[in-house]
Amino acid sequence: MRRLLAVLVCVAGFGMTSISASAAETHLNCATFDASGNIVSVVPNCSQTMVVKNQTVSMPSSNPCSFVPGTLTFVYTNSIFHINVNGASDVWVTQTQTGSVTFVPTDTKQPSYSGHITVWFGASLNKNNAVFHDTFNATLSGTDGSTITFHMVDHMSVSATGMTNVFSIGGFTCG
């Protein structure tokens, strides 16, 4: 169980979007969350689903095509988090988020962007192994007719021997 918790903390450290348990619809309580929404313990033979609507996250950023600074805002209109735990306390977790994304430049003479975002996260954990993957896709259109697309796939696995395999594939296009 300690290894499971360590791996979950590691995922939180990668900056994955966490879900606030207080904002969710819950069926059975097979996971205990800390104040930040991270899983801290699980209940065997359990399944849980949480749905969060209209979650907004804003942050300073820059346009990856022009490097113009501004504010990036994600509005996740639908987020579904599902966890299954079997009798051996093996855990399977998935989360899917969809919504809108906007970029508003600090310099109002520069184009603003808006579009769609989809994020998926999955994990499989047992006392010996752990596998995490995620995908991130966003397509934005600028007020000047330009476009930005961003795609990312991440993977991390840890074997029973401690062998770690990590990769990230992604990029963006400017049009």
Which pLDDT tens digit goes with each residue over 103-137?
Answer: 999 999 999 999 999 999 999 988 899 999 999 99
Indicate the domain borders of the chain. 2-174
Name the pTM for this structure. Answer: 0.73
State whether residue 83 is helix, strand or coil: strand
Q: How far is CA 102 from CA 133, 152, 153, in A?
A: 25, 18, 21
State residue 28's pLDDT score. 59
Residue 147 has pLDDT above 70, yes or no: yes
First to last CA, the chain: 48
Q: pLDDT by residue (tens digit) across 41-78?
A: 888 888 888 898 999 999 999 999 999 999 999 999 99
pLDDT, average across residues 140-144: 98
Query: What per-residue confidence (pLDDT) applies to 7?
Result: 34
Please work out, in degrees rounded to the nearest 5, the angle formed at the alpha carbon of residue 51 by the alpha carbons of 50 and 55: 125
Give the model's confidence band at 144: pLDDT under 50 very low, under 70 low, under 90 confident, else very high. Answer: very high
